Amino acid sequence: MDLTPRPVADSGSRRRRRWLPIAVLTLVIAAGGVIVTQFLTSAIDYYCNVDEIGAKDGCEAGRRLRVQGVVDEGTVSEDGTATTFSISFGAVSMPVRYEGEPGGIFKECIPVVVHGILEDGVFDGDRIEVKHSNEYKAENPDRVAADDGESKGSACSPSA
């Protein structure tokens, strides 16, 4: 019986097999990097009150922001594709354009946080968060306008 090793006929297939796992691993790492980058980019949106736009570091036009203010009375209008309104905080008002209908409990004279980008003096929002409980107000009295007519720049009248 001959126990000598046989010569390998095609050594190229082994090389190809070695590169396949490396290529797959590289693609997985690249995809993970893209996902992490997107997550971190969205997590660093600066939070600003309307009166801090242009005055506070990080609250400049042209960058992604979360802006807090009270929806001004009489400013909400819809044109079929977008909703426009203005929000106020600290005696400063800013126009907002939101693609679509905000829905939910969105209405005039309530605090909202609008996510988007300020361009040409108009805040182009793509997400709206609406105040829905008194817990936030109790924990953050300096960030939410009062409901007693002193709404830090809002034209809303006190509710009866």
The 8-class DSSP code of residue 133 comes to -
How many structural domains comprise the chain? Answer: 2
d(C-alpha 77, C-alpha 97), whole Å = 10
Say if 149 falls within a structural domain.
no
> Is the model's pLDDT at 128 over the cut of 60?
yes
Residues 112 and 64 in one domain: yes
Q: What is the CATH number of the domain that holds 84?
A: 2.40.50.140
pTM (predicted TM-score):
0.60
Split at pLDDT 50, 70, 90, the class of 142 is low
